[in-house]
Amino acid sequence: MMPIFCAGLAALVQLYVQAINSPGMIPNVQNAWDTFVEIKSFEAIKEAVEIYEAEMASQLKDKLPCDNELLRGSHQIAFENSEGYFMAETAGISTNTTEKYLNKLKV
């Protein structure tokens, strides 16, 4: 896992170079950063959902049907793991910025 600063800097440079090399485009660091944050957040959400699904499948294997208590407990553990993954992947990005993406994960 590349530190978020290095990944962010690499993305900024790449997007900035693309803008410089595209006729009529004006390089904009803010737009490049916003694009990086959006891409990084959506990738982290996708992977966090996969972690959640795998954890739920593992927790409930051979236990279905089950009662609400077991289901809620399994959900809580799986969600905490997936949320932790998302937070680790987006560490270094302002929490105000990633909060809207975290809310999408919660849904």
- Joined tokens for residue 6: 């290095």
34, 101 in Cβ contact below 8 A? Answer: no
Q: Do the Cβ atoms of 93 and 44 come closer than 8 Å?
A: no
Residue 46 forms part of a structural domain: yes
Q: Which domain holds residue 60?
A: 4-16+27-106
pTM: 0.76
- For the purposes of burial, counting CB atoms within 10 Å of the CB of 1, is it exposed (0-12), middle (13-18) or buried (19 or more)? exposed
**How far lies 69's CA from each of 7, 72, 76, 78, 81, in Å?**
41, 5, 10, 14, 18
Residue 39 lies in a domain: yes
Instruction: Tell me, yes or no, whether 22 lies in a domain.
Output: no
Looking at the structure of the chain, the number of domains it has is: 1
Q: pLDDT tens for the chain, 107 residues: list them.
A: 455 667 777 877 887 888 888 888 777 777 777 888 888 899 999 999 999 999 999 989 888 888 899 999 999 999 999 999 999 988 878 777 788 888 888 87
Specify if 21 maps to a domain.
Answer: no
